[in-house]
Amino acid sequence: MFEILASDRYWLKNAHIPLSLLENTQLTSDTKEGLCRVDLEIFRGKINTIVPANSVASETPEIELKGRIILPGFIDLHTHLDKGHIWERSPNLEGTFDQAIISITKDAQLYWNLEDIYRRFEFALKCSYAHGTTVLRTHLDTYKNQSDISFEVFKTLQSQWKDKLILQAVSLATLDYYLTPQGLTLADKVAEIGGILGGVAYTNPELDIQLKQVFKLAQERNLDLDFHVDENGDPNSICLQKVAETAIKSQFANQIICGHCCSLAVQTPEIANKTINLVKEAGIAIVSLPMCNLYLQDRTPNQTPYWRGITKVHELKNAGVPVTFASDNCRDPFYGFGDHDMLEVFKEAVKIGHLDTGYDDWCNSVTKTPADLMGLSQFGRIKVGLNADLIIFKARYFSELFSRSQRDRIVLRKGKPIDTTLPDYSELDDLVLKGIVS
């Protein structure tokens, strides 16, 4: 197979591809899962032809896939790569959100210099790339002087990895920070690097003033917005509703994404439906972080959790709100696990959110939909003329895809297989040991 994949021109025969990810074709699904049986011709790194399986005779080299699933490269819309891979030196043994904040703050004060962030950040990129991600957005902590360090690391890695991964950066600060002179400087810095203005919204008496200021800063600099909202189980937390109301009042035209939105799931139907309608009117998109929120939400010592942490993804999607899933934190105090694998994210989202009966177009939530929200419509779909950035799985159906690890996937970039060897954790040993010794 790999000899053929190294060719300039070849066919991938009898592949299963979700109908929702195939653009500008007249194909139809042949399974209950919405999969199409197709042949793809790859020519000089691009998708040259998409036709029904076995409908075209050709003397070009071909690979018989026998129904294996092909997906486009994954899009990871919400990560925290400056925080990742510090669990061993700064664990969160309580497993709570508050303790995560304490552990992260202490770790940052002790260790977050250029080398430390660069090496952990790059380790995360190696994992994402090997798993098949093509586009990634990361939030960067920007309190005090941390923004100078984190933004410098981001710009360096963005340049070094430009031929492998498209990277976007979001500033991460509490919204009150934007009421200060330092907040104005941060907004200018975000505009300078072409980033996204972001922040964490908490319920407080000045929330309306804070939101008005953040929207004003974004409008003046023509920036998109990306908020953390309602990452809790408090039914009285309505920051998402406040963001939507501010967006409507300010007639904000750029993209707005809100992450987490956990409290929406524990509110009354009247409050939740009001918020969802406002979110739809404001044109806001939602990113759910299923693994991290399952880990943190409703955690009480010696008590079994009663809810799953994620927001009302079905209700939002049914209302016409774009819904996506992303990996969020990885091996840090907010989530002690993870490997920057968007298949794992999607697999867990399916199980946690009951997205399997039927699968519909939920696979768009980790591919096509986040790509569009990031302004990158050439990614996250399978279409003639686009780069052959594809992932070939051994699984033939979603039930197979979600039942085994799929570690043996083949990742293609511009039609050529890449090395999918993951970086070894030992690469970070000296950083971990430094923390343990200290």
Query: Residue 65: what pLDDT?
Result: 97
> Which residue of the set 33, 122, 231, 344 is catalytic?
231
Q: Which positions ≥6 away from 384 have C-beta within 8 Å?
A: 24, 47, 48, 49, 50
Q: Do 413 and 89 contact (CB within 8 A), yes or no?
A: no
Give pLDDT tens digits along the chain (438 positions): 778 888 899 999 999 999 999 987 788 887 788 999 999 999 999 999 999 999 888 889 999 999 999 999 999 999 999 999 999 999 999 999 999 999 999 999 999 999 999 999 999 999 999 999 999 999 999 987 889 999 999 999 999 999 999 999 999 999 999 999 999 999 999 999 999 999 999 999 999 999 999 999 999 999 999 999 999 999 999 999 999 999 999 999 999 999 999 999 999 999 999 999 999 999 999 999 999 999 999 998 899 999 999 999 999 999 999 999 999 999 999 999 999 999 999 999 999 999 998 898 999 999 999 999 999 999 999 999 999 999 999 999 999 999 999 999 999 999 999 999 999 999 999 998 777 655
Strand 35-43 with 46-52, pairing: antiparallel
Given this model, what pLDDT does residue 436 score? 64
- Residue 15 phi, psi dihedral angles, 5° rounding: -95, 150
φ, ψ for residue 254, nearest 5 deg: -85, 180
In the residue annotation, 122 being an active-site residue is answered as no
How many angstroms separate the CA atoms of 295 and 370, rounded? 23
Nearest to 37 by CA among 20, 61, 57, 18: 18
Given a contact cutoff of 8 angstroms between Cβ atoms, the answer to whether 131 and 339 are in contact is yes
**pLDDT computed for residue 319 by the predictor:** 98
The domains found in the chain, sorted by start residue, are 2-72+380-417 (2.30.40.10), 74-373 (3.20.20.140)
Kindly report the pTM of this predicted structure: 0.96
Return all residues near 370 (Cβ < 8 A) that are at least 6 apart: 75, 76, 77, 135, 287, 324, 326, 380
d(CA 257, CA 313): 14
User: Could you tell me whether strands 416-417 and 410-413 are parallel, antiparallel, or unpaired per DSSP bridges?
Assistant: antiparallel
Q: What is the pLDDT of residue 32?
A: 82
Distance CA 366, CA 74 (A): 6
Q: What Å distances lie between residue 353 and 293, 307, 314, 410, CA to CA?
A: 12, 11, 8, 27
